[in-house]
Amino acid sequence: MAADRVTLTVPNRSDFAKTVRIAAAELASRVGMSYDDVNDVRMAAEEAFVYASLRVAPAAAVTFVFDIDRTGLTITVGPLEPAADEGRDTDLGARYATFILESVCDEVSVLSSEEVCSLMLVKRTAGVEA
């Protein structure tokens, strides 16, 4: 399947975490992920929301960009404020969220510039070569 992009912008409020989680699960299912992997994606979406909540103003919006193709799902979350301590997450909540993300995703990276950064997560469909 060709790559498809779905963009979802939600307010930084906890009740919208479900919106992101359901969208992520549906897209993961669409690319043929297993039950366990879909559950991982649901957790990843939620933790990404947690991570983003700590890195954007409460009144701001958070944009989730989902890129799907036959190899899996990439979620890019932003725009986030750069971490205060030279790109390292010193906030306890962000560190814990990162632990969970690293547990359930194949790749976790923070793409940062001087002014803004984003979180990128990759979950691959089992048994499909990139």
Partner 1 sequence: MPRSSRSDSRRLVWDKARTRELFAHYRAHQDEESRDELITMYLNLVKYLASRFRNRGEPIDDLVQVGTIGLIKAIDRFDTTRAVEFTTYATPTIIGELKRYFRDKGWAIKVPRRLQELSFRVNQAVDRLTQELQRSPTILEIARYLDVSAEEVLEAMETSEAYNFVSLEGDRTSDGPDSFSILEYIGHDDQLMAVIEDRATLAEALKGLTAQEQRVLYLRFFQGLTQTEIASQLEISQMQVSRLLRRTLRVLRDGIVAREV
- In the complex, the residues that contact partner 1 under the rule CB under 8 A are 13-15, 17-18, 21-22, 25-26, 29, 32-39, 42-43, 46, 49-50, 53-58, 81, 90-93, 95-96, 99-100, 102-104, 126
Cβ at position 7, least distance to partner 1 in Å = 20
Closest by CA to 21, choosing from 53, 58, 49, 61, is 49
Reported as half-sphere exposure (CB side, CA atoms, 13 A), residue 62 has a value of 31
Q: CB within 8 A of 96, min separation 6: which ones?
A: none
Cβ at position 53, least distance to partner 1 in Å = 6
Cβ at position 3, least distance to partner 1 in Å = 20
